[in-house]
Structure 1
Amino acid sequence: MMMVDAILIPICLWCAYVLRLAEWWPWERMIVHWWVFPFASIAGVAIFTHFRIYRSVLRYIGSHTLVLILKSIVLLSVCIMILGFFVVDPIMPRSVPILFAFVCTAYVASTRYLYRYYYRWVLTHLLNKESVAIYGAGGAGVQLATALADSAEFKAVAYIDDSENLQGAIVHGLRVYSGEDLIKLVESLDIKHVLLALPSASPDDRSRIVEKLARANINALTVPAMSEIVTGRAQIDTLRKLEIKDLLGRKAVVPDQALITASLLGKSVMVTGAGGSIGSEICRQVIRNNPKKLVLFEACEYNLYSIERELNDHFKSENLECEILPILGNVCDENHIHKVISTFGIQTIYHAAAYKHVPLVEQNVLVGIRNNIFGTKTVCESAIKLGVERFILISTDKAVRTTNIMGATKRFAELIVQDIAKRSDKTIFTMVRFGNVLGSSGSVVPLFLEQIDNGGPVTITHPDITRYFMTIPEAALLVIQAGSLAVGGDVFVLEMGKKVKIVDLACRMIELSGRTVKNADNPHGEIEIAFTGLRPGEKMTEELVIGCNISNTVHPYILTAQEDVPSSEKLQSLLEALDQALTSFNIEHAIEFLSDPMIGFTPKSGIVDCIDTQQRMELGTE
């Protein structure tokens, strides 16, 4: 552009003479002032360079560059005016520099903007861009439309907004339509995707819009939440696929930073089961709050490697001052646990290590008991001996009036924590109970996604089965905050919102994927839902509290339950009996001891332990 400007700026000056003198070839006057033309060329390029106009990327040119162009041309015109009035003889017509300013502005601005529009025309017409509509004609929608103007993938063709004040208006060159016109709009404008630009919408409104799009079988993408945009973790045009959490209609839980830092800031923290779904997220939240040390205690080598590498990458990028210590080990190894806690001066323990998959624990009864019950007992006893400040057990709603081995072991672990809390003067023991988390290992969401990708069917055990759901980061943050609220022996229950029917969850996930559900009402659908029957130990619905005595805390999403605790003698007697059953590998006796009334375990199926089943088959008793 520099060479073009050097040639065309003198031509702009010639045009100013033509306009002033009303002659196409005013040679006589121009010959007298001939040296003003090379001056205008050289000075113009020098001034444009000074104002960094040549550094502007033409395809992104905007109002800021236009202001610089105006400043540059005004300065150039003033220089020509001074030269023409005080140096040359005869003097230059007074209106020539003014006319030059208008002509030169028109030339310089138009060439830049024409290039930008040509570039966007090429992107729009020569590239195979997909037409998209933007749902939301507010500030986020306008920013998204601006960002998409230079996209090689999408072309915005319309806005959709539920505000009657905006419907029919033209915003950023695009018309705003009503959400009621969605299906007709998709057909008439050949819209391939709808982009949700609603970062501040309430969860209920967002869920309603997403369901509308899903029912219409429209592929939808969404911009990040406003909190991510404001903090710089994402850009407005960082589009992502809609996830099932967008359909839950849960309000975002705002964490209480004071509660989070109370048990983390400057502390030595240990997370058992650090590589699991919940344990790893607790580690991510812990490291963001500047602990002194973070001990990752994990039995699985690969999981430990993965979370340690992830945290170290985050540690380097955020310049955090925290020592990350990956420790391979089993929570049942008393000597190892004792050594780790004492060596690193652990002050806070989040005990997330447990086998949580219901069918697998049903098939591996004794291992589940050993890990979930005796592992918890081992860590608790080491914590109280070594004066750990806080111990937080991660529990589950499956521990309440359970019908499966896993739930019974977690309920037993809860009783151990409550019993030790009665005997502890220094260490604060507490537990946090909550329901399913989205995307955890073994949960229905990743299973459904895999089945949908494979073309179905999506398998559900029963059409009426329901569960509570919460996102993993939300659950981890609430666990940390609950731990800070504890005074000893507390049973904290997280507010999980409404129960969700699993069949509704499956239907929504199918629709979100752009597929249709195959059922009696739609026999030509793409994905079928198959009901397989309840698995051993599975309940139709889950509960979060054993009794009715539940109270609020200072946190609106953390409740506390008052539950009876059996005597230490009775609990110890049952532990000894269970230990003997494990030693003798007597699965039947182990399940019998777990069925003690204080556990609240009511088996609904026979023994399906793999080893026990094989032995009975060999003996001919199966």
Structure 2
Amino acid sequence: MKKMNVRKIFLMLADAGLIAISALLSNMLLGWYGIMTRGNTMGIAVQPVRIVGVIGMSMLFCFFFLFVFGAYNKVWRDLKAGDIAMCALAVVLGLGLSFLFMNLMDKPPTVEFMTLDTLLSVSAICIFRICFRNTVVHLIQAGEFNSEEYDRTLIVGAGNAARMILQEIKYARQDQNNPSNMILPVCMVDDDPSKFHTKLMGVEVVGLTKDIPLVCRQYNIDLVIFAIPSCTEEERKRIMGYCSESGCRIKTVPYLSQLFLDDDSTQILSQIKDIKIEDLLGRPPITFNKKKIRDFINGKICMVTGGGGSIGSELVRQIAKYNPEQIIIVDIYENNAYDIQQELYIEYGDSLDLVTLIASVRDYAKMDTIFAEYRPQVVFHAAAHKHVPLMEVSPTEAVKNNIFGTLNMVNLAEKYEVERFVMISTDKAVNPTNVMGATKRCCEMIVQNHSHKGGKTEFVTTRFGNVLGSNGSVIPLFRRQIEAGRPVTVTHPDIIRYFMTIPEAVSLVLEAGAIANGGEIFVLDMGDPVKITTLAENLIRMYGKVPYRDVEIKFTGLRPGEKLYEELLMDEEGLQKTDNKKIFIGNQIETDPEKLNRQLDELHEIVETNDNDATVKKLESMVDTFHHNVN
């Protein structure tokens, strides 16, 4: 507000000076003309003793009309021809009224003076505004005007979304407290050749999307706004790559299907978000049937094991939105359990019946008492040891927690007639090369084996790839390394993985639980796999740094049990479609219940001895597709 008052005062002083100079110059010119033609100034110029009054009266009425027409509320760089014309009209009316008033006072200036003064005043004030506007625009574009106040911005896309953004920025400038006022659109890029060198609301299209890194350097860009909500997955992935190479901060307009559009007052700027690493996956978030999930969860007692972990805590968050009767969080790690408990207390207060219990799924007796007391109707089993290298070192612990923890939960679900049991598996269970993957494959076999019994509980498995941002995933590790100024470590330059976001993974789990009939393995179509090296490079660029120059990427070699790529389906499983085109069902693999139970008994005896080598050998005999990769 203070800045706006200073601008108004500056402009009023300039106008006052121009009005005074125009009057003095008019009188001086008319005086010279009178002397040259008549030998005196009588009848053509204003007497010097009266000129001060004429100037004062002219200023008073001109200021009045300039204020009425809003001449002092305009932002310099947005000044248009219509605004300048209104200033000219205000000056004409102001001078006309002042001359009329002086006539009524019987002290009229001469007609020659009124005519010349009006012409000079209007010309001076309009020319001043045009010149100053052009100067301001030039200085802003050169980065020399209020450079610290504005985010010099490149807008990617010159379509309707960009137009709406520019309109919002224009209106935001009238409110100095609006954060959008700090966005300064400098230029645009668009892949439509016909738009090249055209202007949208005064902002020029200066190149194609492939030119983004170059344009950002040439125009000293601070912020890139990706404003193409209707682009395809491949286009988004390609253009986001160019944006990340710029080293600038990046914000993005959501996909068209995710925008909140209102016919009366659509606002896009408030929906623009900072780019996240998941935006570089090259596909939109998967959509899910919320009605089916709501019908599944509404009024149910839901238990989540591992409820404090990355997947478990998001499960709890999403379940809470569907009006469950009660949520039971079970986790052995009290810090994580406490965090999600407090988060939900803050958000829901007493409206959510939440129970948080510290317990291990390995403890059958403890879990038995929990089932007996709370009688869950739906169980989401997310508790597991999942770190591949750690489980290679401690295979007996992986078996105890993953296999026998799952067996405990499955048996208890069956005993207490849980309506639906949903186990969370991993793509590493397919043709596993590591202990963790082999244990999860055994878990799938256990769940499918129980589904064959035909009891009241419906057992289902969900399988997906790596989850961005989960505890122990590569993204948090990369972030810590970049922020610490250390090299980013990647095991192999060609290693690839399937990725999804935590909300997507959890939505898959919930919808799978909703549509399950028992025994299925639900698999998400996760699109194309992503090279970990590319992910690391893009993350480095998102920090405004250059890969291999500012931040080294160091290749450390494959870790024990790690393979270059993951698979989502075993060959013999095949695929069945569901209503959700991104979710498929893998056919059940028949297991021999007696053989499986006997093998589990033998495995249990082995792990109780803590013999790691014997444990791995037994896993290899139980899982035909397990080929242990010890690198």
Q: How far 1:593 sits from its partner (Å)?
A: 1.8
Q: How far 1:525 sits from its partner (Å)?
A: 6.6
Which runs of 5 or more residues in structure 2 are unaligned?
A: 6-43, 47-60, 87-124, 174-178
Report the Cα distance in structure 2 between the residues aligned to 1:313 and 1:135, rounded to whole angstroms: 39
Mapped pair 1:240 → 2:269: no
Tell me the secondary structure at the aligned position of residue 396 of structure 2.
Answer: helix
Structure 2 equivalent of residue 478 of structure 1:
508
Q: How far 1:599 sits from its partner (Å)?
A: 5.1
Q: 1:565 to 1:176 in 2, by over 3 A?
A: same
Mapped pair 1:573 → 2:598: yes
Tell me the secondary structure at the aligned position of residue 515 of structure 1.
Answer: coil
2:431 to 357, 381, 401: 401
Tell me the secondary structure at the aligned position of residue 603 of structure 1.
Answer: coil
CA contact (8 A) 2:195 2:205 kept: no
Structure 2 equivalent of residue 266 of structure 1:
299
Structure-to-structure mapping, 1:117-128, within 5 angstroms = 125-128=145-148
Q: How far 1:300 sits from its partner (Å)?
A: 0.8
Q: 1:599 to 1:272 in 2, by over 3 A?
A: farther
Tell me the secondary structure at the aligned position of residue 463 of structure 1.
Answer: coil
Tell me the secondary structure at the aligned position of residue 145 of structure 2.
Answer: helix
Structure 2 equivalent of residue 134 of structure 1:
155
Cα deviations by residue, 1:400-428 (Å, 9 ceiling, x for unpaired): 22121111111111111111111242111
1:205 to 232, 235, 238: 235
Q: How far 1:126 sits from its partner (Å)?
A: 3.4
Cα deviations by residue, 1:489-527 (Å, 9 ceiling, x for unpaired): 112222121222323333333344333333xxxxx6752
Q: 1:124 to 1:299 in 2, by over 3 A?
A: farther
1:168 to 174, 180, 197: 197
Structure 1 equivalent of residue 564 of structure 2:
540
1:586 to 600, 608, 611: 611
Structure 2 equivalent of residue 74 of structure 1:
none
Tell me the secondary structure at the aligned position of residue 584 of structure 2.
Answer: strand
Q: 1:141 to 1:391 in 2, by over 3 A?
A: same
Q: How far 1:431 sits from its partner (Å)?
A: 0.4
Q: 1:24 to 1:194 in 2, by over 3 A?
A: farther
Q: How far 1:202 sits from its partner (Å)?
A: 2.6
Report the Cα distance in structure 2 between the residues aligned to 1:224 and 1:415, rounded to whole angstroms: 43
Structure 1 equivalent of residue 187 of structure 2:
158
1:328 to 355, 358, 374: 358
Structure 2 equivalent of residue 309 of structure 1:
342
Cα deviations by residue, 1:41-78 (Å, 9 ceiling, x for unpaired): xxx9xxx9xxxxxxx9x989x99xx9xxx9xxxxxxxx
Mapped pair 1:196 → 2:226: yes
CA contact (8 A) 2:249 2:544 kept: no
2:381 to 338, 351, 366: 351
Q: 1:409 to 1:359 in 2, by over 3 A?
A: same
Q: 1:362 to 1:258 in 2, by over 3 A?
A: same
Q: 1:224 to 1:340 in 2, by over 3 A?
A: farther
Cα deviations by residue, 1:150-174 (Å, 9 ceiling, x for unpaired): 6575432112222234332222455
CA contact (8 A) 2:292 2:514 kept: yes
Mapped pair 1:504 → 2:525: no
- Cα RMSD of the aligned pairs, angstroms, is 5.3
Bigger shift: residues 157-166 or 404-413: 157-166
Tell me the secondary structure at the aligned position of residue 158 of structure 1.
Answer: strand
- The letter of the residue matching 1:142 is R
CA contact (8 A) 2:188 2:203 kept: no
Structure 2 equivalent of residue 6 of structure 1:
none
Bigger shift: residues 224-233 or 168-177: 224-233
CA contact (8 A) 1:466 1:501 kept: yes
Q: How far 1:184 sits from its partner (Å)?
A: 4.8
Tell me the secondary structure at the aligned position of residue 477 of structure 1.
Answer: helix
Bigger shift: residues 345-354 or 463-472: 463-472
Tell me the secondary structure at the aligned position of residue 595 of structure 1.
Answer: helix
Q: Taking structure 1 as the reference length, what is the TM-score of the superposition?
A: 0.74
Q: How far 1:442 sits from its partner (Å)?
A: 1.4
Task: Give aligned pairs, total.
Answer: 577
Q: 1:516 to 1:573 in 2, by over 3 A?
A: same
Structure 1 equivalent of residue 629 of structure 2:
604
Tell me the secondary structure at the aligned position of residue 601 of structure 1.
Answer: coil
Q: 1:235 to 1:599 in 2, by over 3 A?
A: farther
Structure-to-structure mapping, 1:18-167, within 5 angstroms = 125-128=145-148, 129-146=150-167, 147=169, 149=173, 151=180, 154-167=183-196
CA contact (8 A) 1:421 1:489 kept: yes
Structure 1 equivalent of residue 286 of structure 2:
253
Which runs of 5 or more residues in structure 1 are unaligned?
A: 2-22, 26-39, 49-55, 71-106, 519-523, 607-622
Cα deviations by residue, 1:506-562 (Å, 9 ceiling, x for unpaired): 3333344333333xxxxx675233242x21111222112222522222221111112
Q: How far 1:233 sits from its partner (Å)?
A: 12
Q: How far 1:241 sits from its partner (Å)?
A: 3.8
Structure 2 equivalent of residue 91 of structure 1:
none
- The letter of the residue matching 1:540 is L
Bigger shift: residues 307-316 or 290-299: 307-316
Q: How far 1:247 sits from its partner (Å)?
A: 2.1
CA contact (8 A) 2:247 2:546 kept: no
Tell me the secondary structure at the aligned position of residue 554 of structure 2.
Answer: strand
Report the Cα distance in structure 1 between the residues aligned to 2:272 and 2:287, rounded to whole angstroms: 23
Structure 2 equivalent of residue 5 of structure 1:
none
- The letter of the residue matching 1:340 is I
